[in-house]
Amino acid sequence: IQLLTTYSTKSHTRSAISEAFGVHASYLIEAAPFQQRADVTVTGTVSDPTGEPIPGATISLPGTTIGTATDLDGKYSLTVPEGSEIVVSFIGFESQRISIGDRSIINVTLIEATSSLDEVVVIGFGTQKRANVTGAVSTVAGDDIARRPVLNTAAALQGTTPGLSIQNNGGAPGNESTSIRIRGVGTLNNANPLVLIDGVEQSLSTVEPTNIETITVLKDAASSAIYGSRAANGVILVTTKRGAASGVSINYNNFVGWQNPNFFPEPTDPVTWMRLENEAQANVGANPTYSETYIENVAAGTNPLQYPFADYEGGIFNPNAFQQRHSLSLSSGSDAGRIFASINYADTDGILQNFNNKQVTMRINSDLYASDKLTIKTNLMYRNRAFSGPGFTGQRITQALLHINRNIVMEYPDGTYDLVSGQWNARAMVQEGETSRISDDVFGQLGFAYEINDALSLEGNVTLNTTSTDGFIFQNGLSGMRNYLTGELVNVGGWFATSKLTEGQENLRELSQRLYLNYDQTFGLHSIQGTAGYEEIYNQYKEIAASRDNFFSNDLRDINAGDIQNQTTGGYSEEWRLRSFFGRANYSYDDRYMFQANVRYDGSSRFGEGNRWGIFPSFSAGWRISEENFMSTGDTFSNLRLRGSWGQLGNQRIGLYRYLNTYNLNNGYQFNDNLVPGTAITRAGNPDITWETTTMSNIGLDMGFLDDRIEVIAEYFYKYTDDILIELPIPRTIGYSPPVQNAAAVSNRGWEVAINYNSIPAPDNGFQYTIGLNFSDVVNRIEDLKGTGPFFPDKFTVWTEGESINSLRGLQSPGIYRTQEDLDNYPATIFPSVTIGDIIYEDLNGDGVISQSLFPAGDQYIMGNEDPRYEFGVRFSASYKGFDFSMFWQGVLRQQHSLDGALMEGPNYTNFIPTTMAREAFHPERNPTGSWPMVRSGNSANLMESDFWLQNTSYLRLKNFQLGYTIPQNVVANLRVYISGENMLTFTETELFDPETPRGRSQFFPHSRLFSGGVSVGF
Amino acid sequence: CDQGLDLVPPGEVSELIYWQQEKDARLAVNGIYVELDGQLMVKELDAVTDIGFRAPSGPGSLHDVSMGSFDPVNAAIGSQWDRYYRGVQRANNVLTNIGRIEQGDPELLSRYEAEARFLRAFFYTQLSSLWGDVPLIVEPLDVTAQVGRTSKEDVVDFVITELDQIIQGNQLPLSYSQDIGRATMGAALALKARVAYRNERYAVARDAAKAVMDLGIYELYPNYEELFHYAGQNSSEVIFDRQYTVGGDTYNAFSFSAASIGGGSVVEPIHNLFLKYGYKGPQNPNDPFENIDPRWSYTSYYTDQPIGSSTFNSLPDSPTPDRVRSTEFSTVHGYNLKKWVDYEADRSNPNTGSINMILIRYADVLLMYAESKIELNEIDESVYEAINSVRQRPTVEMPPITAGKTQEELRSIIRDERAVELAFEGLRLFDMNRWRIGEDKIGTVEGLYYLNETTGQWETITSGLNRNFRSDRDYLWPIPQNEIEINDEITQNPNY
């Protein structure tokens, strides 16, 4: 009997049973040569490794309803087509897939299933049995990522792991912006976690979801200290797939989908819109903007060129934007080595017109067994991304939609436009010009693993990772355009005044090498492991840009076709190097007590001599209480383990060369139209700067019940980041930008709980299900700013001691002035013109005026923060016969955002009018109960940052659902079809923007939802 | 272990190897010019006075200053403070280190030194005019240094002493053949006149202004409108300016002006300015703009003036984008700024506007001379001559001021003359402060004067916005709050 074992690091969220039944889209399936076959009867006995027969084990033919179960003596008999493949399974044992070949008697020995505690978890520079992991580590199986019909790995990770917070900020196709935070924001600088793909820092977006074997999230200091100065914000380890141990399998899957805007603010109807604009004028005693004739004509749709009302949404959105992905992979292995090869293609249209992204990724991961001791590993990845769009960003186009008056002709029959202020027209912006960004990513890794003896092995690799990007933005000039109706020249200003081409090239090249020695030996009940190694990273970045304008025509888009008079060039380059030594030691006794220590010694070119080297240690311990004798009597816990860790991490992502005082050469001036070079010291250097240090403690409790069918993992952590580099303000009279200093401290404390439940496996592909729940919370607090502050990094945010990094400042408002009495009660106003219908602001400092600085100097207070609190994810998956169903809910129980800009400006500045405003705008007669301020042309008194505009953005969202069916057939090994939806259902209070929006301006590439369907086939 | 970790920036120069050659001084001096006043202090500053209006935008802009509702955290004020002190730091850096250069033409090095001194004097002139007592820093400081305020008198003394040194040492040339735009002898004299005049040291101002006139190299540019176009750049009326050029520093040429040419109406002239213009002929009751001082039509767009390829129309029933308050970009009160707009030159690419911003020009010197003499009660022929030469510029040709006026009459005449001649050149605020007439801007902002067809009356367009001015406070700007918080030695101006 040939046993096929597949290397798999299962996530604790995944049901071993459902996998055994082939419910998951399997990527590795034994190729079964197919021919029209006669039926044969196979008999045999199923027993456990001790030879005891197993009654009730199921023997089935995958993809069919053919199946049986063993009798009390473990015997079975089943009639199947000749040459087919049967699956033998039983609760608590690893299922086996067996090719019957020409045999008629097949005895099967089932091996007890490894519990999730025996899973192997990928950790820094090695792997470890889950049972021995003492840090806070979560894993996600590649299959769970691959199943989601999304193109971005980061988006697929959302909600999978407690403590991992992923915010989808939307974005143009291929340029989606997601912010990833592990256990809160620990620094005032770059808080992105370290993402390592096959050990090398890369963006999560560079790895195809279908190529992922497993993802490990290292959350505490113990697990991530081996990455030292880069690990303070947590580490995400992505391991890509490798070839099968033997055999050949080919897998193809695809999906096609249709995207639509999600939560884009709904505009009110044109008539209400125009009436509200007129009201805004009337309220300041001005003439109405729209005559009754105009309104009637718009309502009737008569003569739209004379009475235009632009439908920008219709003019720029691309309904049912198409998306498709195809991926084909091959996995194979033999005594000589193994190989995994794949090619992926994805093509996505934007939900705004003319945006598109195509990407092709090829990967070959190979292992060559040069001898029984030496394996040569080669990983090669090439990716090409081609983004295209109009001459403006989606953000700019959305800004135009939200800000520009609509009484213009969006587009005339001859393709010309009306332009507001000579340049604004969302339709023209989405139609004109061209943007393209073509990137080539190449990743090449050559490595080896050499087994010196049973205990010692040496591993190492050299990696080159490069990205080069060609950027191209051509903005069309529209000068010379004539008005369609009058034939007069149109005044064209701003960006449409002249054509302009900006081209840029960016090159990132990172060369890294690492070498490490592993030791692994067991002496009786004592088990010892150790790792010692060296790593070096050299990173170079260079960009160069050039532009010309006033092109011969809009169609000649070569830079040489532009005018040399206003050409510009520019460039920038930088480099950094990190040199590190690291080590780890593990000791465990009887799988009951385990200890681990890590240390990393990092040297970075970012700091001056004497401050360059940092040492980052960590210690952790675990106690598997359930293995103790005193526990063995009770049956409550199948597993009970207590873990604890402490360690220190560094953050080196703080900008380069900040320790030097330098003359900046970019301070040129011009005399008599001639450029002259100039220099200045613009920023004071600080030779004393050094690492930011994060100290983190973690306590974890793992519990398993009912043979681990219920798993509970709970963690509590406290993370304190000290020596945060911050530009502590210096007197402005000194005349430099302030130097960075190691001065601030931030803490994050929080807890995480993950609970997983697997139903009792049902025989004959009966109904079974899995539920996974995770829940977490982090409280962020700025502990120390050396007595300085508050600082205002942007117009909303305030950094002050004792408050969250994401604190919001604003005025306090009890509501709007509705009566003269209100005016008497709140006499202090922001402008003298404030009157009934405007927002009341509290005069917190009682000085008789409303001023926009923080109390007590002014009347702003800290009105809250934008930290998401109580984040959760719920996964449910079930299968019955050939059907499978899964859904994934994700949400935040407490979250608030502040509204900003266009959505609250409305007709005051001839901006976009959302239905909410049309419904809520206060008017003493028309709408005396309205909750929004009165519209008043030009009035800005209500646009101040205040708690009046705070929106509750807590939400519950059906992030994904999927319904699949595995078609019974015997042509190929596996055939599954499915339909799926992303973001199809959301429960939230706000109706003005997507609750995942970073800030309420809605002025970015809109969020989308996706409906898709797909097929996966295994050969 | 450290090998390879010593990486220095590829595009910057360490201070350890700077100050060796003449070029180092030249480049560092060029770097000071970067911090000179630009559009904001020239075009936009008048919008906080009684003759202009700054469009509303986010908090902390000059709009708040314009409305009189500003405080020490106002970002626009803070950024000017920062910029002047950056300029001071750059100048101090040159003056402290230039002596370290051993090789180089001593004459050239002396000129560089004088340029740095002149620019520092310029920054302190502005600092003391806007904030009163300010820290007087004359050498590069450590980042931890805290410096208190020096009395305005002493700062002014310092500026005058510095300028005198440059002038007496004859360190600056009268003009440049190549590097037009660098500080000259005339600029040093004119700046001395300005700082003295602003501080009511009229005798010093008179003499310095006279010295500029006696240089004999400056004259009024015949075409008032073109003086603020490309044609007028580097003309013999310009004494000192902030230079721009395509490929170097540029700005959006129309952004401050009318919506129909792609502008955002950032700054607009108002009724109060219109009222200051006299008439060169009989007034027409049906057309208030007929026979008006031509400088009004060179300064403002008003209804029926040509603009671009069409006609400006901001009336409430206008079909154009210039209709008052019709969009975020249109004028709020009906006028748009025309001065500094060279439509024909910039229409093809308004994004690369590069008309130099004039900081000191000869007409200002003539009017400073005249006013100083008036204030000193030395009213003679030269006073009338100075005023009338400005009024009778070929493209202006206003009737001359006739002799025999009293000091009080002349004082009133010269004040209006300065307002109409120098509108939107960043000087009105300093004049109002010196004349203590800040309250003149209080009240509802009024704009375009037009015949309301419905009422049959001549009316002004208003937006209902009321402006405030606190005479116990607003003659000086507040020291920026962040300076107050960090610098223990500094104190705030009264009543902020």
β partners of residue A871: A776, A892
A403 to B245: CB separation less than 8 angstroms, yes or no: no
Rounded to a whole number, what is the distance in Å from the CA of B209 to chain A's nearest CA? 25
Question: Would you call A679 an interface residue with chain B, using a CB distance cutoff of 8 Å?
Answer: yes
Cα–Cα distance list, A732 to A662, B143, B149, B229, B479 (Å): 19, 10, 13, 35, 11
Of B139, B28, B272, nearest in space to A734 by CA: B139
A831 to B465: CB separation less than 8 angstroms, yes or no: yes
Q: Which residue of B has its CA nearest to A572?
A: B11
B11 to A573: CB separation less than 8 angstroms, yes or no: yes
pLDDT at A168: 76
Kind of pairing, strands B310-311 and B306-307?
A: antiparallel
3-state helix, strand, coil in chain A (%, to 5): 10, 45, 40
Computed on alpha carbons and rounded to an integer, the radius of gyration of chain A in Å comes to 32
**Residues whose CB is less than 8 angstroms from the CB of residue A543 and which lie 6 or more positions away in sequence, other chains included:** A504, A505, A506, A507, A571, A572, A573
Dihedral sign from CA coordinates of B267, A418, A429, B309: negative
Rounded to a whole number, what is the distance in Å from the CA of B325 to chain A's nearest CA? 7
What is d(CA B63, CA B55) in angstroms, rounded to the nearest whole number? 6
Q: How many CA atoms does the CB half-sphere of A78 hold within 13 Å?
A: 28
**Residues whose CB is less than 8 angstroms from the CB of residue A654 and which lie 6 or more positions away in sequence, other chains included:** A189, A190, A606, A689, A692, A725, A740
Amino acid letter, residue B121? A
B350 to A497: CB separation less than 8 angstroms, yes or no: yes
Diameter over CA atoms, chain A: 102
Rounded to a whole number, what is the distance in Å from the CA of A222 to chain B's nearest CA? 26
Rounded to a whole number, what is the distance in Å from the CA of A551 to chain B's nearest CA? 11
Cα–Cα distance list, B219 to B175, B223, B357 (Å): 14, 12, 18
pLDDT at A29: 35
Looking at beta carbons, which residues of chain A come within 8 Å of B308?
491
**Residues whose CB is less than 8 angstroms from the CB of residue A837 and which lie 6 or more positions away in sequence, other chains included:** A283, A816, A817, A818, A922, A923, A924, A933, A934, A936
What is d(CA B179, CA B177) in angstroms, rounded to the nearest whole number? 6
Write out the E strands in B112-255.
238-242
Of B355, B111, B366, B361, nearest in space to B240 by CA: B361
H helices, E strands: number in chain B: 17, 11
- In chain B, residues 248-307 whose CB comes closer than 8 Å to chain A: 248-249, 252, 254, 259-264
A577 to B71: CB separation less than 8 angstroms, yes or no: no
- In chain B, residues 304-323 whose CB comes closer than 8 Å to chain A: 308-310, 316-317, 321
- Suggest the residue from B1, B5, B88, B177 to mutate for an interface test with chain A (most A CBs closer than 10 A): B5
Question: Would you call B5 an interface residue with chain A, using a CB distance cutoff of 8 Å?
Answer: yes
pLDDT at B154: 98
Q: Where are the domains of chain A?
A: 16-114, 117-247, 248-389+392-431, 656-688
Q: Which residue of A has its CA nearest to B331?
A: A938
Question: Would you call A736 an interface residue with chain B, using a CB distance cutoff of 8 Å?
Answer: yes
Cα–Cα distance list, A350 to A185, A629, A994, A1002, B320 (Å): 31, 61, 17, 17, 35
H helices, E strands: number in chain A: 13, 48
Rounded to a whole number, what is the distance in Å from the CA of A317 to chain B's nearest CA? 24
Question: Would you call A832 an interface residue with chain B, using a CB distance cutoff of 8 Å?
Answer: yes
| Sequential DSSP letters for B30-91 | HHHHTTS--HIIIIIGGGGSTTEEE---STTSHHHHHHT---TT-HHHHHHHHHHHHHHHHH
Check if the beta carbon of residue A528 is closer than 8 Å to that of residue A456.
Answer: no
- In chain B, residues 391-450 whose CB comes closer than 8 Å to chain A: none
pLDDT at B368: 98
Mean of pLDDT values over B466-475: 93
CB atoms < 10 A from the CB of B251, how many?
A: 19
Rounded to a whole number, what is the distance in Å from the CA of B268 to chain A's nearest CA? 15
- In chain A, residues 594-623 whose CB comes closer than 8 Å to chain B: 603-605, 609, 612-613
In CATH terms, is domain A16-114 a member of 3.40.50.700? no
Of A506, A459, A497, nearest in space to A478 by CA: A497
A678 to B1: CB separation less than 8 angstroms, yes or no: no
B483 to A733: CB separation less than 8 angstroms, yes or no: yes
Question: Would you call B52 an interface residue with chain A, using a CB distance cutoff of 8 Å?
Answer: no
**Residues whose CB is less than 8 angstroms from the CB of residue B385 and which lie 6 or more positions away in sequence, other chains included:** none
pLDDT at A802: 94
Cα–Cα distance list, B128 to A659, B158, B166 (Å): 34, 11, 20
Looking at beta carbons, which residues of chain B come within 8 Å of A672?
176, 178-181, 234, 243
Question: Would you call B60 an interface residue with chain A, using a CB distance cutoff of 8 Å?
Answer: yes
What is d(CA A458, CA A448) in angstroms, rounded to the nearest whole number? 8
Looking at beta carbons, which residues of chain B come within 8 Å of A729?
482, 485-486
B88 to A735: CB separation less than 8 angstroms, yes or no: yes
**Digit-coded pLDDT (tens) for B228-237:** 999 999 999 9
Looking at beta carbons, which residues of chain B come within 8 Å of A938?
56, 325, 332, 463, 465
What is d(CA B217, CA B175) in angstroms, rounded to the nearest whole number? 9
> Residue A789 — left, alpha, or beta (φ > 0 → left; ψ -120 to 50 → alpha)?
left
Rounded to a whole number, what is the distance in Å from the CA of B19 to chain A's nearest CA? 11
- Domain of B130 in residue numbering reads as 16-206
- The H or E element that residue A976 is part of is strand A974-988
A681 to B15: CB separation less than 8 angstroms, yes or no: yes
Total beta-carbon pairs less than 8 A apart between chain A and chain B:
297
SS3 B332: coil
Rounded to a whole number, what is the distance in Å from the CA of A681 to chain B's nearest CA? 8
Rounded to a whole number, what is the distance in Å from the CA of B378 to chain A's nearest CA? 39
Check if the beta carbon of residue A452 is closer than 8 Å to that of residue A458.
Answer: yes
What is d(CA A135, CA A986) in angstroms, rounded to the nearest whole number? 35
Q: Is residue B326 part of a domain?
A: no
B30 to A831: CB separation less than 8 angstroms, yes or no: no
List the structure tokens of A211. 């190529």
The pTM is what? 0.83
**Residue A367: burial class (beta carbons within 10 Å; 0-12, 13-18, 19+):** buried
Question: Would you call A793 an interface residue with chain B, using a CB distance cutoff of 8 Å?
Answer: no
N- to C-terminal Cα separation, chain B:
56
List the structure tokens of A296. 């009637």
- In chain A, residues 706-735 whose CB comes closer than 8 Å to chain B: 729-735
What is d(CA A853, CA A834) in angstroms, rounded to the nearest whole number? 19
In CATH terms, is domain A117-247 a member of 3.50.50.60? no
Rounded to a whole number, what is the distance in Å from the CA of B201 to chain A's nearest CA? 27
> Tokens 């009347």, residue?
A859
Give the angle A510-A514-A519 at the CA atoms, nearest 5°: 160
What is the distance of C-alpha B177 from the center of its chain?
Answer: 25
Q: Is residue B166 part of a domain?
A: yes
- Model confidence at B192: pLDDT above 90: yes
CATH code assigned at B178 = 1.25.40.390
Looking at beta carbons, which residues of chain B come within 8 Å of A670?
181, 243-245, 248-249
B27 to A575: CB separation less than 8 angstroms, yes or no: no
**Residue A257: burial class (beta carbons within 10 Å; 0-12, 13-18, 19+):** buried
Question: Which parts of chain A sit beneath pLDDT 50?
Answer: 1-36
**Residue A114: burial class (beta carbons within 10 Å; 0-12, 13-18, 19+):** middle
A735 to B321: CB separation less than 8 angstroms, yes or no: no
β partners of residue B466: B444
- Provide the domain count of chain B: 1
CB atoms < 10 A from the CB of B281, how many?
A: 9
Amino acid letter, residue B182? R
- Suggest the residue from B133, B147, B486 to mutate for an interface test with chain A (most A CBs closer than 10 A): B486
